[in-house]
């Protein structure tokens, strides 16, 4: 089962203000600015949970990514989307609300997405959504650094861009 290319996204201007809506397929095909979230789940040991994307994803199938990530749907906001993605992808309802770390401006490296990055404290185990995620595991920051440096092709392009900007904030 692939992604719903008719799912509506808010299209935004260079200041992240909504200027219209368009279906997922059109937004991606035309490179329109839109919104997304990335959550980095960190456990008490300081490890970060990463996931390998499902092979049916419309972008970066089979590649590794942040703990969870997703598009902000039309009319939704970043914080609600983060909570939805945690529940949908990981089956995770954290004891404490995710913390906003930083916002990345829409750019080619993010697929024209404005991205809010969140830190989430959780220990797992998680109930991974097989439609979204093949598998996931905990990694130390140094291991992720080495993996990204040696084999960046194994990661979603946005992760390769985001990781060095977020790792020190986790």
> pLDDT tens digits, residue range 54-64?
998 877 899 99
Using one digit for the tens of pLDDT, what is the confidence trace for 121-162?
999 999 999 999 999 999 999 999 999 999 999 999 999 999
Q: How far is CA 114 from CA 14, 54, 108, 166, in A?
A: 9, 23, 11, 15
Q: Does residue 164 have a pLDDT over 50?
A: yes
Residue 116 near residue 100, CB atoms below 8 Å: yes
pLDDT band at 6 (very low <50, low <70, confident <90, very high): confident
The token pair that represents 61 in the structure block: 């199938």
The domain locations on the chain are 8-169
C-alpha span between 52 and 156 (Å, rounded): 9
Instruction: Select the CATH number that applies to the domain covering 8-169 from these four: 3.90.79.10, 2.40.128.260, 3.10.28.10, 3.40.50.300.
Output: 3.90.79.10
49: left (phi over 0), alpha (psi -120 to 50) or beta: beta
* Average pLDDT rounded to a whole number, residues 21-33: 95
């Amino acid at each position: 089962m692939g992604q719903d290319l008719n799912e509506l996204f808010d299209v935004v201007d260079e200041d992240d203000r909504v200027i219209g809506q368009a279906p997922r397929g059109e937004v991606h095909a035309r490179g329109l600015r839109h919104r997304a979230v990335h959550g980095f789940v960190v456990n008490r040991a300081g490890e970060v949970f990463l996931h390998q994307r499902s092979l049916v994803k419309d972008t970066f199938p089979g590649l590794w990514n942040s703990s969870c990530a997703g598009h902000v749907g039309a009319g939704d906001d970043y914080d609600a989307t983060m909570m939805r993605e945690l529940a949908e992808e990981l089956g995770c309802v954290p004891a404490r609300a995710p913390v906003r770390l930083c916002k990345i401006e829409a750019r080619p490296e993010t697929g024209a997405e404005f991205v809010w990055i969140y830190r989430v404290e959780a220990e797992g185990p998680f109930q991974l959504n097989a439609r979204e995620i093949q598998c996931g595991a905990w990694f130390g920051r140094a291991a992720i650094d080495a993996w990204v440096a040696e084999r960046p092709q194994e990661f979603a392009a946005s992760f390769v861009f985001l990781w060095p900007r977020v790792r020190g904030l986790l």
